Amino acid sequence: MSDIHKTIEAVWKIESTRLIAAIVRVTHDIGIAEELAQDALVTALEVWPEEGIPDNPGAWLMKAAKRRAIDSLRRGRMLVQKHEEIARELKWQQ
């Protein structure tokens, strides 16, 4: 295991609980929060070996996870809107 991967693993062990708790406050769903936190970890595993460990890796993970949470909430709202539009169109066609 490379030094950078060891660093990422250590950061994850320290930050994951706080990260998931913060995302739960946004999403109100622990399963989604865990998924989004893991997505942030995967992103770190892809980005950090190339760009280096950020000065504040915990904040970096938090920012990445919160961005994904916001994107997820937006997609959810958009999906609800689209379903409502389809329902209205179907109602008009009857």
Residue 52 falls in which region: left (phi positive, over 0), alpha (psi -120 to 50) or beta: left
Alpha carbons 73 and 66: distance in angstroms, whole number: 10
Sign of the CA dihedral with 78 first, then 84, 87, and 93 last: negative
CATH number of the domain to which 37 belongs:
1.10.1740
Q: pLDDT (tens digit, 9 = 90+) per residue, 7-21?
A: 999 999 999 999 999
Q: Is pLDDT at 59 greater than 90 in this prediction?
A: yes
> Mean pLDDT, the chain, as a whole number?
90
Q: Report the number of distinct structural domains present in the chain.
A: 1
Alpha carbons 26 and 37: distance in angstroms, whole number: 12
Q: How far is CA 37 from the centre of its chain?
A: 5
Q: What is the DSSP letter of 55?
A: S
Residue range(s) defining the domain that contains residue 83:
3-93
